[in-house]
């Protein structure tokens, strides 16, 4: 509810800026033409993942994961790392934060293990593993537009090296901090039966077909909407009660829209000029680190989405744009409001009775976020210079 209220206030401010002439109507319409496919994708992919979870798909995967762990906590954790990474890459960071978090908490509890290292893995990788593909993060989808509609494979060709660093560094940090909890053995519980096999099979097939469709080069909202409509039709036949308005993340969409229009108005008032002075203009390693650092600071100070929007106009080149993405995607590990995914993750954590100190979270993030951002930028520089 609070998210929706904040979003409505931001939208009202954006509308007021158009009404008084701060943000020209033509610019506002151009911005809307750019962001509606992004918002529609978020809506559709959220519906797909919520319905797939209702069908038992993610619980089934979690149970198989527990079996594959062979009683070793460290191996089970590595499987969670892999699952969180793939979920973030193909289904977006919000999907990982919302749906994988309860799965890994249940998984850890059933195995008699401390759930915090597993929960921390999901939220950190939800943010940092969102570098590889346009669908992984809202910021990536916006950057893809700025890069002239670059194909998913073309996008991955530019981001693969920093994306790899952004997975390895946070995962290594979690293992070092939680190694005592992760060097134990466990006994996996018996698997729960699938209650509706046709529904489960349909969900599994739709998700399996959706993954390659998202990297096929077709506008990502098209396969996501098709998948959502197919699953909604199947649920309408077999479990109509599941189809409720809360499946659609209205508050998230309103907040994202409000942030976008407010940042556009701020740029019209000269924000871009001020940011250019602190973010630099060059492509040297130092300048790229500077831009990524400003992006990471902005993400933790306000939120990664408005931080990206504020800095996008001063990026100025594809290489600098990727450096900016590193900052706003891998940097939001310190404050709880740094990304919407982190807020959604904490809400699920609280609902499941898992206590987390924000002070400890912030202290870990203060160490890991700068290291991840810096090493990812250096990887980008090395690969770029090697290619040239």
Band of the pLDDT at 386, cuts 50, 70, 90?
low
- Taking residues 226-237, what's their average pLDDT? 94
- The partner residues of 185 in beta bridges, in order of sequence, read 72
Calculate the average pLDDT of the chain: 87
The pTM for the full model equals: 0.81
pLDDT band per the 50, 70, 90 thresholds, residue 285 = very high
Top mean pLDDT of 61-65, 141-145, 167-171, 263-267 is at: 167-171
Neighbours of 353 (CB within 10 A): 9
Note the pLDDT of residue 190. 67
SS (H, E, C) 161-220: HHHHHHHHHHHHHHHHHCHHHHCCECCCCCCCCCCCHHHHHHHHHHHHHHHHHHCCCCCC
Sign of the dihedral defined by the CA atoms of residues 71, 167, 130, 296, in that order:
positive
Percent of the chain with pLDDT over 70: 97
What one-character DSSP code corresponds to residue 356? -
Q: Which of 280, 286, 282, 279 is nearest to 378 (CA)?
A: 286
What would the pLDDT profile of 76-134 be if each residue is shown by its tens digit? 999 999 989 998 998 888 778 877 888 888 788 878 888 899 999 999 999 999 999 99
What does the alpha-carbon distance between residue 168 and residue 153 come to, in Å, rounded to a whole number?
Answer: 21
Residue 270 three-state SS: coil
Which residue bears the tokens 């809202």? 138
With cut-offs at 50, 70 and 90, classify the pLDDT of residue 316. confident
With cut-offs at 50, 70 and 90, classify the pLDDT of residue 234: very high
pLDDT at 151: 87
Reply yes or no on whether the pLDDT at 348 is more than 80: no
Whether 4 has a pLDDT exceeding 80, the answer reads no
Q: Does residue 183 register a pLDDT over 80?
A: yes
**Confidence tier at 388 by pLDDT (50, 70, 90):** low
Confidence of residue 289 (pLDDT cuts 50, 70, 90): very high
Band of residue 272 on the pLDDT scale cut at 50, 70, 90: low
Give the pLDDT band (50/70/90) at residue 277.
confident
For residue 11, pLDDT beyond 70: yes
Q: Is the pLDDT of residue 185 over 60?
A: yes
Mean pLDDT of the region 156-168: 96
What is the mean predicted confidence (pLDDT) over 366-372?
96
Average pLDDT of the segment spanning 327-352? 86
pLDDT at 387 (0 to 100) = 62
């Amino acid at each position: 509810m609070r998210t929706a209220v904040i979003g409505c206030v931001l939208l009202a401010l954006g509308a007021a800026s158009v009404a008084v002439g701060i943000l020209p109507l033509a610019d506002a319409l151009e911005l809307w033409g750019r962001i509606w496919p992004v918002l529609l994708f978020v809506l559709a992919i959220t519906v797909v993942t919520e319905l797939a979870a209702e069908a038992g798909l993610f619980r089934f995967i979690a149970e198989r994961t527990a079996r594959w762990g062979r009683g070793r906590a460290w191996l089970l954790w590595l499987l969670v790392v892999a699952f969180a990474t793939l979920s973030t890459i193909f289904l977006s960071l919000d999907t990982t934060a919302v749906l994988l978090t309860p799965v890994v908490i249940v998984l850890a509890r059933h195995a008699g293990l401390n759930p915090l290292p597993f929960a921390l893995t999901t939220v950190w990788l939800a943010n940092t593993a969102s570098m590889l593909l346009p669908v992984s993060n809202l910021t990536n989808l916006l950057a893809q537009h700025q890069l002239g509609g670059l194909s998913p494979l073309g996008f991955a060709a530019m981001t693969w090296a920093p994306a790899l660093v952004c997975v390895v560094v946070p995962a290594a940090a979690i293992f070092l901090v939680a190694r005592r909890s992760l060097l134990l053995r466990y006994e996996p519980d018996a698997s729960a039966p699938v209650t509706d096999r046709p529904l489960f099979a349909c969900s599994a097939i739709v998700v399996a077909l959706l993954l390659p469709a998202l990297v096929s080069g077709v506008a990502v909202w098209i396969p996501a909407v098709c998948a959502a409509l197919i699953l909604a039709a199947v649920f309408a036949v077999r479990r109509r009660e599941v189809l409720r308005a809360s499946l659609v993340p209205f508050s998230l969409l309103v907040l994202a829209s409000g942030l976008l229009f407010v940042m556009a108005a701020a740029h019209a008032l000269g924000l871009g000029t001020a940011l250019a002075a602190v973010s630099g203009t060059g492509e040297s390693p130092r300048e790229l680190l500077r831009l990524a650092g400003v992006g990471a600071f902005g993400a933790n100070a306000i939120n990664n989405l408005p931080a990206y929007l504020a800095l996008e106009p001063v990026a100025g080149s594809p290489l600098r744009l990727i450096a900016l993405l590193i900052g706003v995607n891998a940097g939001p590990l310190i404050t709880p409001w740094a990304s919407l995914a982190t807020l959604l993750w904490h809400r699920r954590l609280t609902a499941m009775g898992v206590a987390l100190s924000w002070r400890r979270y912030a202290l870990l993030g203060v160490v890991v976020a700068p290291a991840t951002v810096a090493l990812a930028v250096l990887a980008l520089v090395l690969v770029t210079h090697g290619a040239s």
